[in-house]
A and B are shown apart, each in its own frame.
Chain A
């Protein structure tokens, strides 16, 4: 079964606004990762946060992790039209090698 559940499924905002996407998961994890996918292409890794970390930044991206609630959020600040894509969270399952993905959030940035 899917480990990650993303919320919302789709998000449409104006350029320059901030975009927040949430991910919930079910089991214990080693890490949580966020990926981006442009239409019809492979996924590109954005950021990884380990289970003992609470917050991580990379450029305009900010990721938080709350292991007590089994949830994470991805914030994209000052959005650009080029940020239009699908965003997926993935969990590195503790005690296993596999990487399990959620269903994704479709983000549209309107110019």
Chain B
């Protein structure tokens, strides 16, 4: 079975902290994605990556950056966490133009 693992299920951070969310997949997928999910807004794409060291902005990249140094790992970085970044963060991976597999999600609270 494909496995996408996010490093934390729940996370509480302080305003202004630098936050790292890690995602690892075990299926050699080219594509990896970071989404945030908020009530009534569905899933919004933050960043995605289609190869090692390659990244593209999604719909809401402001306040975030990403890193993909190895094919299996895609990190989301909140440079200076703010309360409006409190959300559920979902990582996913896929082969080219096929179904995506999701991690269990990280519920981040910024206080």
Best-surrounded residue of B40, B42, B59, B88 (most CB of chain A within 10 A): B42
The answer, yes or no, to whether A42 is at the interface (CB within 8 Å) is yes
Whether A43 and B56, one on each chain, are in contact in the complex, defined by CB atoms closer than 8 angstroms, is no
Binds A, one of B12-20, B75-83, B89-97: B89-97
Consensus secondary structure, chain A interface: strand
Bound form: Cα–Cα A45–B101 in Å: 7
Bin the interface of chain B by size.
20 to 34
Known A31-B97, A98-B56; judge A42-B42 contact (CB<8 A).
no
Contact status B42-A2, CB under 8 Å = yes
Let me know if A59 is at the binding interface, CB within 8 A: no
Q: Which residues on A sit within 8 Å (CB–CB) of B56?
A: 96-98
The residues in A between 23 and 55 inclusive whose CB is less than 8 angstroms from any CB of B are 30-31, 33, 35, 40-45, 48
Whether B11 is near chain A, meaning CB under 8 Å from some CB there, is no
Q: A42 near B45 (CB under 8 angstroms)?
A: no
User: Least Cβ distance of A11 to chain B in Å?
Assistant: 16
Docked-complex contact B59 and A101, CB < 8 angstroms: no
Q: Is the CB of B100 within 8 A of A99?
A: yes
Q: How far is the CA of A85 from the CA of B30 in the complex (A)?
A: 29
Complex A-B, nearest 7 residue pairs according to Cβ-Cβ distance, in ascending order: A103-B42, A42-B102, A101-B43, A45-B99, A97-B50, A43-B102, A42-B104
